[in-house]
Structure 1
């Protein structure tokens, strides 16, 4: 006898597709592709959507794929988004399905995300007679460079959405758990590259030169005051100089020094304060040290803000499907270009526990190994969210 309980039907469907989703994920894992190079991955996504009879478009925003499931009745328009790109990391897992591509690896679990959303697509296609409205399935390239989300939005992938849901695996959380954050959840990410030009000379005669190394050292320490002395204490901000290059040997004062760094903020006001302060510190410190400064400051992606209008029904749907497995988490200063979708439609980003028993794993790690049971559980959670929001 077939159960009329939606939780039972979704659970059974997800369990049945789990072996195929694992095989699909492992195939994607073995063939990682970097940002805007996801041609093979996009081809697999398109083939799966075609197999399911889901109309779709390819080449959206570069290498993105968009599929559409039409419900039986008019209603809301919900977007579901997964990212597809890998990282330039040499895999060290030793797994039989480890990356076959030198220097590239799915070390952030986007292979998990792609396979999960394909499972959700299969589930919702089978339930489309119960849906009121439309589901747009968004398979996005280039999240790691924070360029794919804006590119897909610019290409119209978010057009007409009433709500959009994204998700990310969390290897630091046990498989079977889920999480959410209210309001700002992930940081805006900006970058800067600074070139300081002085006058080269002999290290024994510094008075005859203009030393960019000393200027760079001053700026590295001065930039930390952007956080400690310019931001409101309740406005999180991170300023990190990740690269400083200058000189070639011990006894030559070089002509130039290069610094590169990142700025992370959760609030728009803090973002403006940080940029203005960095520009001011660069200008005046360089002048004080007799240096010429060239600053390239780029705003990459805004803060990801979860909207309660999507968060509340989504959290309730997860609990209805899986029980008391979802808890409120803390914001992170990491960044996610799902924020581009959140800027044009009410959005919610779900955390999916993927930690394997006995492991203390982390993202962007050459030995990263998520628990593949998160595939089936992710399908259940996201499928129930869509079903409830389009009931």
Structure 2
């Protein structure tokens, strides 16, 4: 199942892999702004002679055509950075863009897929099928994958595979279990309208601050008291804007939050309950409520066959001890939109090492990856494609 030529090639390309990752890390671009990153990817693919096209505005779709007829497997990497201030100022490859940082590892994903593409291209005459390479923008805002699908990213594709570098797992470990992997990620906004007035005359007012506060305190019971405890869910209020000044009773309050779960019925239930809770809280105080619920990414549910193939590939490529049992995360991933179209799976590749200070949480300003794990990810990409096409 393991292609030894690719294994040797990826080891040989190790320094180049690190150099690419560091270049991308030092030059982060935000969602839908990945102009230079996609240009770099395009130039790299040109140098390899890999056919590709750019998507609007900043994606790249490439194809390695095998020497033999067969299926088509898609490999995906995301490219965008975050609006985060880099705190790793001592790194030689720290972000050069103030307030922008690859704080989630997408620089690593892009570098790993480029090197995987190079290794796959080396043996393309032996491939019984084709490998689609998807370099995706705007994962961090949850809209990039959907747009790439619209622009043909998985047309003619039989299977899709993606991965994420993971600082919460030890370096080199690989996790990919059948079933839920990442939660659906939705956004809600609740607007309360009361009646403002002088801070010394509450009897003449409807205090939106009191209404909003009551909602925040009570809405947690949607999860704790209306959902089966065996169906995990999270409702988080992350932002609340109320009032205008210290001595004016607030007329308006705006609350923003997120909902995470794995089960579609649970998702529908929370959507309805937010409306019910907002309206009832508003009615108690004589206020008016308006709820806007935006469905974001779907839950990432790994296909059983695909996840087991990932485990088999990882075991044969790196040893059985590499397999790691990582529980599903409530984090969101728009790889789900590819899985709406074709079967596939999404793996985690460990890059956490306390000796190298790479165990910081994703999206933190101190986030970094143990670069010893980059070759693991690059080879997993390549070997999975080889194994799938040879199944």
- Is contact 2:80–2:139 with CA below 8 Å preserved after alignment? yes
1:154 aligns with 2:153: no
Distance 2:352 2:132 in 1: 29
Shift of 1:341: 0.5
1:93 aligns with 2:88: yes
1:83 aligns with 2:82: no
SS in 1 for 2:293: strand
- Give the structure 2 partner of residue 382 of structure 1: 381
1:273 aligns with 2:272: no
- Give the structure 2 partner of residue 362 of structure 1: 361
SS in 2 for 1:353: strand
SS in 2 for 1:327: coil
Shift of 1:6: 4.5
SS in 2 for 1:309: helix
1:342 aligns with 2:339: yes
1:259 aligns with 2:258: no
- Is contact 1:178–1:353 with CA below 8 Å preserved after alignment? yes
Give the alignment of 1:220-259 within 5 angstroms.
Answer: 220-259=216-255
Shift of 1:230: 1.2
- Give the structure 1 partner of residue 326 of structure 2: 329
Shift of 1:7: 5.0
Please say which of residues 337-346 and 375-384 is displaced more in the overlay: 375-384
Shift of 1:160: 2.0
- Give the structure 1 partner of residue 62 of structure 2: 67
Please say which of residues 356-365 and 47-56 is displaced more in the overlay: 356-365
- Is contact 2:180–2:302 with CA below 8 Å preserved after alignment? yes
- Is contact 1:319–1:326 with CA below 8 Å preserved after alignment? yes
CA shift in 2, pair 1:20/1:322, >3 Å: same
Distance 1:303 1:96 in 2: 37
- Give the structure 2 partner of residue 193 of structure 1: 189
Please say which of residues 247-256 and 157-166 is displaced more in the overlay: 247-256
Please say which of residues 323-332 and 87-96 is displaced more in the overlay: 323-332
Give the alignment of 1:84-123 within 5 angstroms.
Answer: 84-94=79-89, 95-123=91-119
Shift of 1:379: 1.5
Distance 2:279 2:78 in 1: 39
Distance 1:7 1:172 in 2: 29
SS in 2 for 1:176: coil
Distance 1:217 1:388 in 2: 54
Please say which of residues 76-85 and 127-136 is displaced more in the overlay: 127-136
Distance 1:176 1:332 in 2: 19
Residue 10 of structure 1, aligned match among 6, 12, 17: 6
Please say which of residues 270-279 and 243-252 is displaced more in the overlay: 243-252
SS in 2 for 1:381: helix
Distance 2:271 2:382 in 1: 41
| TM-score, structure 2 as length reference | 0.96
Shift of 1:141: 0.3
Output one character per residue of 1:205-264: Cα deviation in whole Å (capped at 9) or x when no partner. 211011111110111012101101111111111000001111233321011111000000
Distance 1:136 1:335 in 2: 24
- Is contact 2:178–2:308 with CA below 8 Å preserved after alignment? no
- Is contact 1:185–1:331 with CA below 8 Å preserved after alignment? yes
- Matched residue count: 386
SS in 2 for 1:328: coil
1:171 aligns with 2:167: yes
Output one character per residue of 1:337-390: Cα deviation in whole Å (capped at 9) or x when no partner. 001111111111111011134233221111112011222111222211111111
Give the alignment of 1:13-24 within 5 angstroms.
Answer: 13-24=9-20
- Is contact 2:171–2:351 with CA below 8 Å preserved after alignment? yes
Residue 349 of structure 2, aligned match among 348, 352, 357: 352
Distance 2:325 2:367 in 1: 24
Unaligned runs of 5+ in 2: none
Distance 1:6 1:256 in 2: 61
SS in 1 for 2:112: helix
